[in-house]
Structure 1
Amino acid sequence: MTAAVPTISMSLPADQFAKDFGASFERFGFAMITDHGIDPALIDEAWDKAKAFFALPEETKRAYHIAGGGGARGYTPFGTEIAKGAKEVDLKEFWHVGRDLPAGHRLAAQQPNNVWPAEVEGFRTAYDKLFAEFDRVGGRLLSGIARYLGLAPDFFDDTIADGNSVMRLLHYPPVEAPAKGIRAEAHEDINTITLLLGAEEAGLEILDKDGSWLPVSPPPGAMAVNVGDMLQRLTNNKLPSTTHRVRNPDAGRASVARYSMPFFLHFRSDYPIKTLESCVDASHPNLYPDPITADEYLQERLREIGLKK
């Protein structure tokens, strides 16, 4: 039988959810999550605002591109991002919403405040609400992971307080043949965990242990959730940051744009990523003996994928 990423309900009792969710993370690096509690009306509004923004003229969108910002906030044009080691840029454009910090905050230098497009009414209101909801759900998911790892349920609370999380609004335009590159080349995520809405449209695939590509197609309204490199490093590879891609559509769907909204949940910028002692033993020596702060790790990876020089 072909392996399949399981669908897991957040309405399960906490211990059962932690067991099922953690096992899926350890086996696949991915899980599909239902009953996350984000209002479907808010999600629908967010899709509408994203489509309205990406339909704006190119010069209007590019006015919100922040040169030298590494794509941290605002608009990143089509053909900018490239997966580590890839030969062709990804066929996508995107907008980033982050966490606004008060003036004088100790992490403000690493986490710039947002910019907002004046052309789309209600854009900021919708995404401020959705960012807060992703943040809430992400905290609950990490509590499940903490339980699975034998840690206190609130272990991750301090690590992500004022964290450098980013919500990405993604637009993959229709694909014209013959295309150079694909919508998102094979890659791993940099962050702690990723929560993704919009994977119902076919294309998201993960690389399984046997080298085959497995489709990830959550039920409508559900999330695909995956391990990022930072959590992989923290757990000494117990929880794998699995390679994944968004392949180009089949001929019948090539004229259809694809939209998705990943929330890249990050540790706070100054959090030292140090291998958990519980994930090191004689059979699993520490692969990462030198701690690194979350921001140092992020900057290193942003340079690798072309978002920073």
Structure 2
Amino acid sequence: MTAAVPVISMSLPADRFAQDFGASFERFGFAMITDHGIDPALIERAWDKAKQFFALPEAAKRAYHIPGGGGARGYTPFGTEIAKGAKEVDLKEFWHVGRNLPAGHRLAAQQPNNVWPDEVESFRATFETLFAAFDRVGGRLLSGIARYLGLASDFFDDTVADGNSVMRLLHYPPVAAPAKGIRAEAHEDINTITLLLGAEEAGLEILDKDGSWLPVSPPPGAMAVNVGDMLQRLTNGRLPSTTHRVRNPDAGRAGVARYSMPFFLHFRSDYVIRTLESCIDAAHPDLYPEPITADEYLQERLREIGLKA
């Protein structure tokens, strides 16, 4: 039988959810989550605002590009990002919304201010509300992971408090054949966990242990969630940061754009990622003996994918 990423309800009792969710993370590095509690009307508004922005003229969008900013906030033009080790850039453009920190906050240097487009009404209000909703759900998911790992349910609370999380609004334009590159080349995420609101268009696939590509198609209203490299490092590889991609559409859908909204939940910038002792034993020696701060790790990876020089 073909392996399949399970669909898990967040309405399950806490211990049952933690076991099912953690087991899916350990097996696939991915899970699909229902009953997450984010208002469907808010999600629908967000899709509409994102589509309005990406429909703006190129010059208008590029006015919100921040040279040298590593794509941390605002607009990143089509053809900028390239997966680590890839030969062709991804066929996408995107917008980043980050956490608002008060003036003088000790982490402000690592987390720049947001920029907002004037052309789309209620863009800021919509995405600040959605960011907060993602943040809440992410905290609940991390609590489940903590339980699965035998840690206190609030273990991750401090590690992500004021964390450098980013919400990405993604637009993959129609694909002209023959295309150089694909919508998103095979890659792993940098962060702690990623929460992804599903796209109407298919294409997300994960690389399974046997080398086959498995489609991940969350049911309507559900989200895909996956392990990032930071959590993989923290857990000594017990929870794998699985390679995934967004393949190009079949011929019949090549003229249709694809939109998605991942929320990259990050550790606090100054959090020191040090392998959990409970994930080290004789059969599993420490693969990451040198601790590293979350920001140092992030900057290293941003250079690898072409977002920073």
Same structural fold, with TM-score higher than 0.5 when normalized by the shorter chain: yes
Partner of 1:48: 48
Q: Tell me the TM-score normalised to structure 2 length.
A: 1.00
Q: Alpha-carbon deviations, 1:121-148, whole Å to 9, x = none?
A: 0000000000000000000000000000
Match of 2:277 in 1: 277
Q: Which blocks of at least 5 consecutive residues in structure 2 are unaligned?
A: none
| 1:200 Cα deviation after fit | 4.4
TM-fit CA distance, 1:242: 0.1
SS at match of 1:147: helix
Distance in structure 1 (CA, Å) of the matches to 2:220 and 2:93: 24
Structure 1 outlier segments of 4+, above 3 Å: none
Instruction: Show CA shifts across 1:160-181 (max 9, x none).
Output: 0000000000000000000000
CA distance in 2 between counterparts of 1:288 and 1:198 reads 33
2:139 partner letter: G
- Report the equivalent of 1:22: 22
Deviation by residue 1:45-97 (Cα, 9 ceiling, x = unmatched): 00000000000000000000000000000000000000000000000000000
Partner of 1:202: 202
Structure 2 residue matching 1:65: 3-state secondary structure: coil
The answer to whether the Cα contact below 8 Å between 1:200 and 1:217 also exists between their aligned partners in 2 is: no
Asked if residue 256 in structure 1 is aligned to residue 231 in structure 2, the reply is: no
Output the CA distance in 1 between the equivalents of 2:252 and 2:122: 34
SS across alignment from 1:261: strand
Amino acid at match of 1:263: F
Whether contact under 8 Å (2:200, 2:258) holds in the other structure is: no
Give the paired residue count: 309
**TM-score normalized by structure 1?**
1.00
Task: Provide the rounded CA distance (Å) in 2 between the counterparts of 1:288 and 1:64.
Answer: 38
Counterpart for residue 145 of structure 1: 145
Other-structure match for 1:38: 38
Are the equivalent residues in 2 in contact too, given 1:199–1:216 (CA < 8 A)?
no
SS in 2 for 1:170: strand
State the one-letter code of the partner of 1:9.
Answer: S
Measure the CA separation in 2 of the matches of 1:45 and 1:265: 22
Partner of residue 304, structure 2: 304
Q: Which runs of 5+ in 1 are unaligned?
A: none
Residue 225 of structure 1 aligns to a residue whose secondary structure is strand
- What is the 5 A alignment of 1:165-244? 165-244=165-244
Match of 2:67 in 1: 67
Q: Deviations over 1:209-230 (max 9, x none)?
A: 0000000000001000000000
Alignment of 1:79-90 (within 5 A): 79-90=79-90
* Deviation of the 1:199 alpha carbon: 3.6
1:258 Cα deviation (Å)?
A: 0.1
Alpha-carbon distance in 1 for matches of 2:80, 2:201: 23
Q: Deviations over 1:175-214 (max 9, x none)?
A: 0000000000000000000000024421000000000000
Q: What amino acid sits opposite 1:205 in the alignment?
A: E
2:60 aligned partner, one-letter code: T
1:246 to 2:246 alignment: yes
> Conserved in 2, the CA contact under 8 Å of 1:206 and 1:215?
yes
